[in-house]
Structures are given as C-alpha cells and as structure tokens.
Structure 1
Amino acid sequence: MDGEQRALVLLREREFAVLFSARTLSMLAIAFAPVALAFGILDLPGATATTLSVVLAAESVAIVVFVLAGGVVADRYPRHRILQLAEWVNAAAHLALALMVMTRHAPTAGLAAAAAVSGTATAMVWPALTGIVPDVVPAAGLQQGNALLGLGGNIARVAGLVAGGVLVVAVGAGWSLVVAAALFLAGGALVSRLRPRWSSARDSSGSVLADLREGWVEFRSRQWLWVVVVQFSVLVMVWQAAHLVLGPVVAKQELGGPAAWTAVLTGESVGLIVGVLIALRWRPRRPILAVTLISFGAAPPYLLLGGHAPLWTVVLAAFVLGLCFDLFTVLWQTTIQREVPASAVSRVSSYDELGSLLLGPIGLLLAGPAAARFGAHPALVVCGLVMVATTLFALCFPSVRNLTSKGPAAPTGAARGVPGLVP
C-alpha cells in the first residue's frame, strides 16, 4: 500500500482523526500569534527590538527549563490529558498577552511572564505529541501519521498567517491574540475527547530522577541522535535570532511592516505543505543523512535578507526553507519513534527538544543588541553562515551518514496493526 492510501485509511480512524483535528486547531492558534506578538510589542510606547527579544527569550527559557519534566510526565501519565491541559494554559497566556497589548498597559515584566507561561505549556506538548502518535498509529503508518499531522498544521499555518496578518493590519495585534486564545481553548476541548486505544506500558512507580537517567541513557547511546541535536542547538539559536527578531526588524524598517513579514511567513508555510506531501511518499534509505543535508535549506532566507535582496527572493527562499524543515521534521520524528523503545520515546524526545532549544534564549537576547550595534543586515548574514557551518559539522560523523532505515518496526506496547494499513 502506498503512502497516500495509508494516509486515507488513517484519516478514517476516529482516534487519529480527533488527534489530527485538535493539532490542526492548535497550529492555527500558533499561526495567529507570531505576527501579532511581534508587531504588537514593537508598536507599544517605548518598545524596541530588545523588548521583543526579552519577551521571546522568556518563552524560550521556560521551554528549556520544563521540557525534561514534560518528557517524564508524558511517559508516566495519559498523553492526551497532558495535551489538553497544555492547550488550555496556552489559551490563558495568549488572552493575557492580548489584554496587555490592547490596553497598552504592557510592562515588559508582565509580557515576559505571560510568554513564560505559554512556554511552560509548550514544553509539555512536544514530548506528549511525539509519544502519542505510536499510541494511535500502527507501526506501518508512522511516517504517514506524522506527515498528516504536519499537513493539517501547515495548512492551518497558511490560513492563520494570512488571516492573522490581515487582522493585525485591520484592527490591531490584540484581536489576533484573542483569536489565538480562543483557538487554543477549542483545541483543548477537542483533544479531551481523545481515547488512545493503545498505550505504552509505563511504570510510574520509580523516581523522577530515575526516569530522567533512563531517558538520558537511551539518548546518549545513539550517536546520530545527539550529534544532530547539537547541530540544531546552534542552528536554532541563530534561527530564532534571525526569524523572530532580526527579520521583523528589517521588515518594519525597510519592507513595509507586517504585510511584508506575513508574506515571508506565508511562503515558508506553503513550503511546509509541499514538504509534507513529499514526506508521504519519500522514504530515504539513510534518513539521518537526508535530514542533515536538508538542513542547508535553513540559511538562504537570512543570507538574502541580510544582503538587501528583493522581498520576492526572500519569500521564495522561505518557501524552500519550509519545504526542507517539514521533510526534516517528519523523517526525524519517524526515525526516533522507530529506533527508541515506546516506553521511553517521550523522554528521549524531551532531551531532543531540550538540546535543540538550549541555546535559543541566547540568540534571542543577543539579537536586539546586535541589531542596535552592528545593524540587522550584518547580523542576519552571520546567522546564515553559522547555519551552514553547523550542518557541515554534523556531516563529519559516520553514524549521521550511515544509519539505514529499518522500515516499519515491530511495535513495543503500541499498536500492532489496523486492517488496511499493514502492507
């Protein structure tokens, strides 16, 4: 059975359909937030690029601090309940941000506190989401399940970015954040209906520290895993600086403001959709080599933006970036889910996320001051060059180049198959 047929069968399964719908709503909410938050803060009295850096760094720090706890919790307790709670906490955080932006009573400490609450909720999502997919999808359909979740999310991103950008221009950033809060609330209500039919055998009797040690052993024993995480720790640091701070600053100063940056983000989101469609079929024999080579696609948008290139070339490069990033995400998640025991996959995923995001706050905190001292354009060029260098670093390791795909693995405590999905 080919990838498209497996995807259609999955969408007819109730549990996966509920997870797909809830995740799509959540991604729609996330899509409303970046433009609204960036330009809502930059338009506040006295706000600067450094203000935006501090707020975004607060969210990033919270993710880094709490992501390991998220992995332990997701390997111990029902993952759908964790996702539900995280959606509702995110709704409350975005409503608080909206009220501060709309009333113009927005002290930096208050904005940072609300962003940190949102980051704490987000830290719970990724480990639980990575772990719940094998709980509702048979092994033969893992890649298609991950790709479909990405497809729904990316369609939502495009719709949300366009609608959010229009709403920011028409009525202001505050209302976009209100819509995001409502969507998070609806997503949480939907995921509360999820009843995974298969659960990994998780023992919650041990200590948290013992759980963390077991997860660390699983993580460090796979060289390809920790090497790519180190690569992405540096790449994400400079990507966050370029994408969340320096890019909006250049867009506001030179390209026309929110509409221009919305165009860049929309180009990226369309690329994400195309990347998912490719991921439904493409199964590289060496998936980790493939995802590493794909990482080169991260640099061009920021090199072009730093080099004063026309907006349309930046949008085109953002499309390629989106395509590469979604291929990376689907192949990476599927490889982890197949190579790591189901009982530890959320903890390994949390170490993955921790490592990938560990340096992110540094990039965000340095982005504003770097733009002020050296200019946003040189800082963007440096970010792009660092992305290229860190990808070359990862390619130096044999396990990154040589790990071969096992194909659909025999599950451990997860689904053993659904008629129509097993080849």
Structure 2
Amino acid sequence: MHRLAVGINYPAWAGRNYRIQTASTVVSGLGNAAAPIATAFAVLGAGWGTAEVGYVTAARTVPLVVLMLIGGAVADRWPRHVVMVSANVFNAVSQGVLAALVLMGHPPLWTLLALSAAGGAGQAFYAPAAEGVILRAVSAEHASKALSVFKMGMNGAQIAGAALGGLLAAVADPGWVLAGDAACFAVAALMRSGLTQVGGRRESGPSLVHELRVGWREFVSRRWLWAIVVQFSLMNACVLAVETVYGPVIAEDRMGGAGAWGTAMAALSVGMVASAVLMARWQPRRILLVGNGGVFLFGLPALALALGLPLIPVVVAMFLSGVGVTVFVVGWMVALRQEIPEELLSRISAYDAFGSFALLPAGTALAGPAADLLGRSGALWACALTCLGLAAAVLLVPEVRQLERKVPEARGNLPQPEPATSG
C-alpha cells in the first residue's frame, strides 16, 4: 500500500505548536463562550435573581484569582502542555457534573457555587501556561500577524459559541449547553496532548516561592506593565458585571431572554474578529498607545444598557467594544512577547491575570447590591464612566504612550509547504 504525500501550505510563522494551540483554543472557545450564558440562565431558571447570578459568577473568579500565581509558577517549572492538558481534563469533569445536575432540575445553589469554583481553579492553572505556549510559538518579526490570526480563531469560536449557547439555552435546557462545554474541554485536552514539549521539568532548583518573588520583581520593574494591570483590575470588574449579570437580567426583562443576550455576546466576538483582520496587517509603532485607544470602547455596552436602548443599539455597542478588545489585546501581547524574557512569560502572565482579575469576584458579587442601591441604570452608568475614566488615566504613564515596536514585521513572506501524509 502506498502513502500519498500531500503538501499543505502553512505560513512560515505557523509552526506545529502554534497550529495545535490555535485549533484547540477554537474548540474550547466554543464551549467557554456558551457556558456563562447557560450558567446565568440556569440560575434564573431555578428561581433565583440578580444577586444569585452574581454570586455564582463570583464563585468562579475567586479561585481563579487566588490560584493564578501558583499556576504561573507551575507553568514555568513544568512542561506547559502537560499543565494545560491536566487543567482541561479537570474542567471537562467539573462542567460535566454541573451539566448533569442542571439537567436533573433545580440544583441546590451550593452545588452551582462549588462547581463554578472548580471551573475557575482549572482555568487558573491553564491560562498562564497557555499564554506562555502561544507567545513562545511565534517569532518576534511575525508577532502581530500570528497573534491576530490566533485571536481571530478564538473570537470566531466565541461568536458561534455565544450564539449557539443563547439559542440552546432559550429553546432547550442550559444543561445541554454546559454538557457541550464539557465535551469541548475533553476534545481540546486530546488535541493539546499532541503539542511538542514546551518547557521542561526541573527536578531541583529554587522553590516556587522564590520563583514567584523573581516574577514579582520583574513585574513591578516595568511601570507600563503594572499600570495597565491596575487599570484592568477595575475595568474588568465593571465589564464582567455588565456581561454576566446586568446584561442577562435586562435581556430576560425586556429583550426576549437568552437568545437576545446570546446575539449581543456574539456581536462582541464579531467585533473582535473584524478588528483582528485589521491588526494582522497594521503594525503601529506605539503599540500600547494604540492598544489603549481600543480601551475607550469598553464602556459602550454599559452605556447602551444604562440609556435603556433596544437590542439593536446594544448589539452595535457590543460590536464596537469587541473591536476595542482585539486592538488592545494584540498590542498587549506583542509588548509582552517583545519585553519579557521567555523563561518568565508564564509568571508575568500570572501576575497580569492575578491583578486584572483580582476584583472580578467583588464586581459580580456586588452587582446585585449596587443595582439595589443605585438602581440598575445608575449602576450601569457607574460602570460606563469608570471604563472611560480608566482608559484616560493610564495615558498619564509615559511608557504607555512611548513604548515602541522594536522588531519590524516581516513582509511578503510566502507560505512554505509542510509535508503531511494520508493513506
């Protein structure tokens, strides 16, 4: 029997690890985009309200924040692909149990809280390892293009996941959406088992505490780095409250329910994909200054909801916010790839995520009480104005305005064939 050699043309910058990590991120992204919508409507369907939706969301973010630094140190010490696969398997199991309980009907609140916390714990170990893998998989001269394509794939999955999650939650049962999320985690774990070794296990060496201290010194020595992380610690709390608490509740009240909010969340991802096409070609010299320009769009969904606008303007606001997300994230990832030593990538990513997520539990847990105190519209106005003020405030840091791209992007590279076989 003869095996036929097939030449598959991959771009020169799309190596094996890059392709596997991008494809597996698309798979897990489908479930991840749908799960928050399904969880929110599972809570509402069980008879609880805004406060309980906030508590369940906060339960996921608490272990995510608490364990993130440990996850970063582990990912810099042990092979990152092993850490990611283990975390994916753990998340597949926890989401599978959550799906079963929701499908059986009216799960106790404490089980929703516990299983949401389990999901956050798995993500705390996955995220730093994943960022280290994708940043190491791209070369400096192709960073903008490769990271934009990566974000395009991830955000495309979020479009489909959010739309499908909202639709299934509306016409079927949120439990089936959560079951799909568990399946996506399992498939992603299988795919990531094919990654070539990323990092190596150190049998001896400095303790985890020492390595965390080294990472902290590197983190605080870069003013642009910690200033933007502080900015996002407050910004993310507001954005998450809008996307996972206020938005679903308002959609349930006056927009038609889960399907409407699924459409809005899909528009967010469409904006991310559309701007990824731009960022794959555009190579701004001042990467953080341009990136922070996108941050000014983050508060538009809160503003649209505060004004009581109907679904279509809210969808437009979500789309523009998604454009801003990718403009910022690509610039941010290029800056990390350019400025941070490879052996510290996961620890720095962990400090970034720890700071950025630190106030997420408070933001979601306090969303209900804030709405009671200020009124729902008042709480949304506070979110919108906070986002705008933070986008402006970080520009007071000179490095944010002045940090420049060091390596010019390679242009005009033709795709190179990579041999594959089929029999």
Same fold (TM over 0.5): yes
Q: Which residue of 2 aligns with 1:284?
A: 284
SS at match of 1:297: coil
Q: For the residues of structure 2 that align with 1:233 and 1:129, how far apart are their CA atoms?
A: 21
Native 8 Å contact 2:219 2:226 kept in 1: yes
Q: For the residues of structure 2 that align with 1:330 and 1:44, how far apart are their CA atoms?
A: 39
Q: Which residue of 2 aligns with 1:166?
A: 167
SS at match of 1:317: helix
What's the offset of the Cα at 1:310?
A: 2.2
Alignment of 1:260-271 (within 5 A): 260-271=260-271
What's the offset of the Cα at 1:10?
A: 3.6
What's the offset of the Cα at 1:73?
A: 0.7
Native 8 Å contact 1:68 1:350 kept in 2: yes
Going from structure 1 to structure 2, the CA distance change for 1:407 and 1:202 (only over 3 Å counts) comes to farther
> For residues 210-233 of structure 1, what are the alpha-carbon distances to aligned partners after superposition, in whole Å with 9 as ceiling and x for unaligned?
100100011111000100111111
Alignment of 1:102-121 (within 5 A): 102-121=103-122
Opposite residue 75 of structure 1, the aligned amino acid is: D
Q: For the residues of structure 2 that align with 1:230 and 1:162, how far apart are their CA atoms?
A: 32
Q: For the residues of structure 2 that align with 1:372 and 1:60, how far apart are their CA atoms?
A: 22
Matched residues, number: 406
Does residue 386 in structure 1 map to residue 389 in structure 2? no
What's the offset of the Cα at 1:391?
A: 1.4
SS at match of 2:345: helix
What's the offset of the Cα at 1:309?
A: 1.4
Opposite residue 249 of structure 1, the aligned amino acid is: V
Going from structure 1 to structure 2, the CA distance change for 1:59 and 1:275 (only over 3 Å counts) comes to same
SS at match of 1:33: helix
What's the offset of the Cα at 1:372?
A: 3.2
> For residues 311-331 of structure 1, what are the alpha-carbon distances to aligned partners after superposition, in whole Å with 9 as ceiling and x for unaligned?
111101110101110121121
Opposite residue 160 of structure 1, the aligned amino acid is: G
Does residue 135 in structure 1 map to residue 136 in structure 2? yes
What's the offset of the Cα at 1:347?
A: 0.3
Q: For the residues of structure 1 that align with 2:260 and 2:172, how far apart are their CA atoms?
A: 17
Does residue 123 in structure 1 map to residue 124 in structure 2? yes
> For residues 50-109 of structure 1, what are the alpha-carbon distances to aligned partners after superposition, in whole Å with 9 as ceiling and x for unaligned?
111111101111110010011101111111111111111111121122122222242222
Q: For the residues of structure 1 that align with 2:328 and 2:130, how far apart are their CA atoms?
A: 17
Of 23, 33, 36, 1:34 maps to 36
Does residue 99 in structure 1 map to residue 97 in structure 2? no
Native 8 Å contact 1:58 1:113 kept in 2: yes
Unaligned runs of 5+ in 2: 1-8, 418-423
Going from structure 1 to structure 2, the CA distance change for 1:202 and 1:140 (only over 3 Å counts) comes to farther
Opposite residue 230 of structure 2, the aligned amino acid is: V
TM-score (norm 2): 0.91
Native 8 Å contact 1:202 1:343 kept in 2: no
SS at match of 2:46: coil
Q: For the residues of structure 1 that align with 2:171 and 2:110, how far apart are their CA atoms?
A: 28
Q: For the residues of structure 1 that align with 2:150 and 2:341, how far apart are their CA atoms?
A: 22
Q: For the residues of structure 1 that align with 2:355 and 2:193, how far apart are their CA atoms?
A: 30
Q: For the residues of structure 2 that align with 1:14 and 1:207, how far apart are their CA atoms?
A: 32
Q: Which residue of 2 aligns with 1:216?
A: 216
Q: Which residue of 1 aligns with 2:61?
A: 60
Q: Which residue of 2 aligns with 1:246?
A: 246
Aligned-pair identity (%): 35
Q: Which residue of 2 aligns with 1:414?
A: none
Native 8 Å contact 2:219 2:348 kept in 1: yes
Q: Which residue of 2 aligns with 1:413?
A: none
Does residue 149 in structure 1 map to residue 139 in structure 2? no
RMSD: 2.2
Q: Which residue of 2 aligns with 1:316?
A: 316
Q: Which residue of 1 aligns with 2:420?
A: none
Q: Which residue of 2 aligns with 1:369?
A: 369
What's the offset of the Cα at 1:200?
A: 7.8
SS at match of 2:396: coil
Q: For the residues of structure 1 that align with 2:200 and 2:105, how far apart are their CA atoms?
A: 48
SS at match of 2:281: coil
What's the offset of the Cα at 1:368?
A: 1.2
Does residue 181 in structure 1 map to residue 182 in structure 2? yes
Q: For the residues of structure 1 that align with 2:355 and 2:204, how far apart are their CA atoms?
A: 25
Opposite residue 353 of structure 1, the aligned amino acid is: A
Q: Which residue of 2 aligns with 1:341?
A: 341
Q: For the residues of structure 1 that align with 2:144 and 2:120, how far apart are their CA atoms?
A: 27
Going from structure 1 to structure 2, the CA distance change for 1:201 and 1:88 (only over 3 Å counts) comes to closer
Unaligned runs of 5+ in 1: 1-5, 410-417
